[in-house]
Amino acid sequence: MHCVQKITDNIYWVGGNDRRLERFENMFPIPDGVCYNSYLILDEKTCLMDTVDTAISRLFIENITHVLNGRDLDYLVINHMEPDHCANIEELVRRYPNIKIVGNKKTFQFIGQFYDFDYCNNSHEVKDCEMLNLGRHNLKFMAMPMIHWPEVMFTYEETEKILFSADAFGTFGAMAGNIFADETDFEHHYLGESRRYYSNIVGKYGNQVQGALKKLSSYDIRMICPLHGPIWRENAEYFIGKYDKWSRYEPEKNGVVLVYASMYGNTENIINVIANKLAQKGVKDMRMYDISKTHPSYIIADIWKYSHVVFGSVTYNNGLYYGMESLLNEIKALNLQNRKVGLVGNGTWSPQAIKVMKEILCTMKNMEVVGTPFEMTSSMKDNEEEIVDRFVEDFYSSIS
């Protein structure tokens, strides 16, 4: 049975949800599932904006068959050639042999790399800013390389002023019938997952996102249709504002994330002591994570949100505990910047944690180490409380 919704008089949402997939990209846990959006425009010509993941191919075909109601499919625009969106191209070419696939040079290169069917008679290559008229609707293709793949395009529909934004403005989380952000309690249900999606998947490309936001600022946008998650038809400025902040690597909130790597609990204990002391000074809404317990994508999302972070790690074979090392290397790879950092290390015979953490942090932009990092040898004794107090005092004064 088809499952579609009209988003305007002649444009339909024909996507679907997957609540069974354990991990997105086989990496990110998605406890609330994920949604793959696709949109079908009915005009003198019919045009589909992207396809969906193989997980929901059957529903997808039912959806477009229903909306087309016997009409041929004239165009398929590929805004993004990642398999979670382009898995059904071959199937569509088989069902609609006259279809024209609209993409840029890189799009077709990637189609050839991923698939084995002959698309030569079905390709319609476009360049940046090229237009395609469907009748009443007019599509403008905008190259948006590296948000977050090189072939990515946004498509702007001029008549109804709709932006089809590929993976930008997307979020993890399946949709429960309410496909418009204004029909949901977005801040409560989706914002955290949007931030986790953005920071982990698009976060590295802040400059490109800034460039895109600049380009888009001259367009009148009444609706944003992303490839994952709710559609924005009201108050899109709110979400664009989040993207602006995230892509500038600016924290949304003054606050502290504490992350520790600890085997026997001594480092964990000191991180708790620090959080307790900060709380007693009035710091609110702190977040604490055990690196071995929580998937790093959640920790990264919170580091993206807050202004301060404390890393506490044991020394492990002359280096860092590898969960902590990979977290630090990942936030570096994602280009995270502009945070204030506190450091706590531990070791029994030759502590190295502070040194290695500093080595990674000093290659990042504007990561300021505040307070005096302190390294304990196995555990801290009550008579060393002064060291912790001094650290807490310095760290606290940097939280305005």
C-beta of 360: minimal distance to ligand FMN in Å? Answer: 17
Selection from ligand FMN, Fe ion, none that 214 binds (CB < 5 to 8 A by kind) is none
Residue 349 touching ligand FMN (CB under 6 A): yes
Of the candidate residues 348, 366, 372, 397, the single one contacting ligand FMN (CB under 6 A): 348
Give the integer Cα–Cα distance in Å for 224 and 148. 17
Q: Are 140 and 156 in contact (CB under 8 A)?
A: yes
Structure token digits, residue 52: 């969906």
> Could you tell me the CA-to-CA distances from 382 to 190, 334, 389 in Å, in that order?
44, 39, 11
Q: Which residues are paired to 11 by β-bridges?
A: 8, 41
Residue 322 touching ligand FMN (CB under 6 A): no
Selection from Fe ion, ligand FMN, none that 176 binds (CB < 5 to 8 A by kind) is none
Nearer to ligand FMN, 134 or 328 (CB): 328
Give the integer Cα–Cα distance in Å for 296 and 76. 36
| Binding footprint of ligand FMN, residue count (CB under 6 A) | 19
Give the integer Cα–Cα distance in Å for 97 and 73. 9
Binding mask 77-106 for Fe ion (x = CB under 5 A): -----x-x----------------------
Structure token digits, residue 13: 């949402």
Q: Where in 141-170 is the site for Fe ion (CB under 5 A)? A: 167
**Nearest residue to 267 via CA among 315, 301, 234:** 315
C-beta of 201: minimal distance to Fe ion in Å? Answer: 7
Q: In angstroms, how far is the first alpha carbon of the chain from the final one?
A: 56
Q: Which residues are paired to 131 by β-bridges?
A: 140
Selection from ligand FMN, Fe ion, none that 32 binds (CB < 5 to 8 A by kind) is none
Of the candidate residues 19, 94, 97, 264, the single one contacting ligand FMN (CB under 6 A): 264
Residue 265 touching ligand FMN (CB under 6 A): yes
Nearer to ligand FMN, 82 or 268 (CB): 268
Q: Where in 289-328 is the site for Fe ion (CB under 5 A)? A: none
Nearer to Fe ion, 99 or 147 (CB): 147
**Nearest residue to 90 via CA among 61, 48, 58, 119:** 119
Nearer to Fe ion, 84 or 157 (CB): 84
Nearer to ligand FMN, 24 or 316 (CB): 316
Query: Helix, strand, or coil here: 249?
Result: coil
The residue range among 79-87, 116-124, 260-268, 361-369 that interacts with ligand FMN, by the rule CB under 6 A, is 260-268
Residues 6 or more apart whose Cβ sits within 8 Å of residue 300: 196, 199, 200, 203, 327, 330, 331, 334, 336
Residue 184 touching ligand FMN (CB under 6 A): no
The residue range among 75-83, 169-177, 346-354, 361-369 that interacts with ligand FMN, by the rule CB under 6 A, is 346-354
> Could you tell me the CA-to-CA distances from 107 to 29, 97, 145, 250 in Å, in that order?
28, 19, 11, 32
The residue range among 65-73, 80-88, 262-270, 389-397 that interacts with ligand FMN, by the rule CB under 6 A, is 262-270
- Token look-up 């060291």 returns 387
Q: Cα–Cα–Cα angle for 155, 32, 177, nearest 5°?
A: 60
Of the candidate residues 63, 79, 208, 266, the single one contacting ligand FMN (CB under 6 A): 266
Residue 314 touching ligand FMN (CB under 6 A): yes
Binding site for Fe ion (CB under 5 A): 82, 84, 167
Binding site for ligand FMN (CB under 6 A): 262-268, 314-318, 346-351, 378
